[in-house]
Amino acid sequence: MQTSDYLAVLVEDIHSVVVATVDAQGHPASRVIDMMYQDGQTVYFLTANTKPFYKQLRKKTFVSVSGLTQGKSTRERKMISLTGPIRHLGKEKLDILLEKNPYMSDIYPTKESRQVLEVFAFAEARGEFYDLTVLPPNTDSFIISS
């Protein structure tokens, strides 16, 4: 598979991932977010500029993301992890992310409420893929580079 294939799995099949950052005290902080769009080169996500997560992303741009596909058992799942620096895009591509993820209009129903949303993307990353749907498990590495 190519990098674009892995990004498609991450956004379309996994979607919700755990992302780890570092808080103001230098401690790890993690939460679940959605990978909302991919363009074959990188993946995009957003957050509100009122959240601690936003402040962590702006202060320390290095993050780690992990997610797995749904399945009835472990043997029916694929996993992807990305680690690397992200870049802040602000409002760039916000309309695309909102269009691709219509549930966001329920969370942020008005133009005014969406003013707090800002977009981020991986600038570079090392990715790991682990597929347990086949034996032996398929493992691979891939790179996001700008």
Q: What is the mean pLDDT of residues 58-84?
A: 94
Q: How confident is the model at residue 74 (pLDDT cuts 50, 70, 90)?
A: confident
Q: Judge contact between 125 and 144, C-beta under 8 A.
A: yes
Name the average pLDDT for the chain.
Answer: 96
Question: How many domains, the chain?
Answer: 1
Q: How confident is the model at residue 110 (pLDDT cuts 50, 70, 90)?
A: very high
Q: State yes or no: pLDDT of 146 exceeds 80.
A: no
Looking at residue 122, what is its pLDDT? Answer: 97
Looking at residue 71, what is its pLDDT? Answer: 86
Looking at residue 90, what is its pLDDT? Answer: 98
Q: Tell me if residue 24 falls in helix, strand or coil.
A: coil
CA dihedral 75, 6, 29, 27 (to 10 degrees): 100
Tokens of 80: 């992807």
Looking at residue 1, what is its pLDDT? Answer: 86
Give the span between the Cα atoms of 45 and 64, in whole angstroms. Answer: 13
Looking at residue 56, what is its pLDDT? Answer: 96
Q: What is the mean pLDDT of residues 15-28?
A: 95
Length of the chain: 146
pLDDT in tens, 30-51: 999 999 999 999 999 999 999 9
Name the pTM for this structure.
0.94
- For residue 75, what is the domain's CATH number? 2.30.110.10
Q: How confident is the model at residue 127 (pLDDT cuts 50, 70, 90)?
A: very high
Domain that holds residue 58: 3-144
Q: Judge contact between 71 and 9, C-beta under 8 A.
A: no
Q: State yes or no: pLDDT of 92 exceeds 90.
A: yes
Q: What is the mean pLDDT of residues 99-122?
A: 96
Q: Is the bond preceding 136 in cis, omega lying within 30 degrees of 0?
A: yes
